[in-house]
Structure 1
Amino acid sequence: MTRHIYALRIELSDVTPPVWRRVLVPAGYTLDRVHRVIQYAVGWQDCHLHSFDIDGVTYGAPDPDGLLDAADELDHRLDAVAGKDTRFGYTYDFGDWWEHEITVEDVVAADPAQRYPVCVDGAGQCPPEDIGGASGYAEFVAAVADPAHPRHAELREWVGDHEPPSFDPSRVTTLLRRLT
């Protein structure tokens, strides 16, 4: 039986400079594993709630308080809810409301010599956690770039050096190996 791999493009919405990743993941991954791939690939710390929105259905971790009406992501495989050219949403941190657009760019046969998941391309540095979403990040970028900005020193002290390094897919792949 041929194992299939999904080529996913993950793009963080409404941020400049753009933050995106292209990852190859097994088609049989459950959505909770796709969530963990996104966390490692983009650079989040997985300390907030999240959800997927695929064809009008919300998927996420079971909510013991019943506030999030979502299908259990542990029960749904990627290949059962999405196919080639499917676009769907992933929201991380319901306070900052980081929206990501995920596109299934291709579905291919797995290379038996390759370990998956793997990151093959991308750009941009992930915003810091708890920065206030896209609008807070825009203010953050302006403040850390301008020593005269009233919040420059405060934000530099809080986050340290946030200069965008060149993106390295092999570093992300190393992190993704923790999933296998």
Structure 2
Amino acid sequence: MARQIFQLRVSLVGVRPTVWRRVLVPGGYTLDRLHRVLQYALGWRDCHLHSFDVDGVVYGVPDPVGELAVLDELDVRLDAVVGKGSRWRYTYDFGDWWEHDLLVEDVFVADPDERYPICVDGERAGPPESAGGPSAYQVLLAAHADPGHPEHLVLRDWAGERFDPAAFDAGRVTTLLRRLC
């Protein structure tokens, strides 16, 4: 059987202007491996807990204490839980609560001459790690853009000189994905 590729659109919920990515991933990837793709695609550093919610079933890293009722993401393949047109949620950092809307835009046969995963499109940089969630990130964006904002210098220093909220490079993301996934 030919290997299936899932074209996913990933959008960060609650952030304006929208931060989004379009990635191509093998349907045989486990949700754990998809988690790594999402981390690199958005610029996260995998410093916090995460989960997937697919039709009310939650997948993630099982909690040995049993406080979080999640199914093990290592045991679940992408193509076993979603198909073309499926929409579900990925949440990263349970303190900041970064929700990502995932949509399977298409499913097709892999190009035998191509290496996957690939980031084919997107817009805007992902928020810096531990930015405080969507509402705090909106404050950071406003302060970053306005030299007259009372927190401009502090938040600009915190985000780092190289942080450019409008920047995005699909080729760079693909290079990271191929090295690290």
Q: Normalization by structure 2: what TM-score?
A: 0.95
Asked whether the equivalents of residues 12 and 19 of structure 2 are also in contact (C-alpha less than 8 Å), the reply is: yes
Provide structure 2 residue ranges, at least 5 long, that are not aligned to the other structure: none
- Over the aligned positions, Cα root-mean-square deviation in angstroms equals 1.1
1:12-33 Cα shifts (integer Å, max 9, x gaps): 0110121100000000000000
Cα 1:51–1:123, aligned 2, differ >3 Å: closer, same or farther?
same
Aligned-residue identity in percent: 64
Deviation per CA, 1:96-146: give whole Å up to 9, x if none.
000000000111000000000011111111111111100000111111222
User: Are 2:52 and 2:89, in contact at CA under 8 Å, matched by a contact in 1?
Assistant: yes
**Residue in 2 that maps onto 1:75:** 75
After TM superposition, where is structure 1 displaced by more than 6 Å over at least 4 residues in a row? none
Q: Which amino acid aligns with 1:154?
A: V
Map of 1:109-120 to 2, 5 A cutoff?
109-120=109-120
Q: Which moved more, 1:161-170 or 1:91-100?
A: 161-170
SS in 2 for 1:7: strand
Structure 1 stretch displaced more, 123-132 or 104-113: 123-132
Indicate the residue corresponding to 2:49 in structure 1: 49
Alpha-carbon distance between aligned partners in 2 of 1:146 and 1:106, rounded to the nearest angstrom: 40
- Write the distance in 2 (CA, Å) between the matches of 1:8 and 1:84: 9
Q: What TM-score do you get using the length of structure 1 for normalisation?
A: 0.96
Which stretches in structure 1 are left out of the alignment for 5+ residues?
Answer: none
Matched, 1:157 2:157: yes
Moved more, 34-43 or 152-161: 152-161
The aligned residue for residue 61 of structure 2 is: 61
SS at match of 2:2: coil
- Please name the residue that 1:174 is paired with: 175
Amino acid at match of 1:116: Y
Count of matched residue pairs: 180
Q: Deviations over 1:48-78 (max 9, x none)?
A: 0000000110000111232211000000000
Amino acid at match of 1:136: A
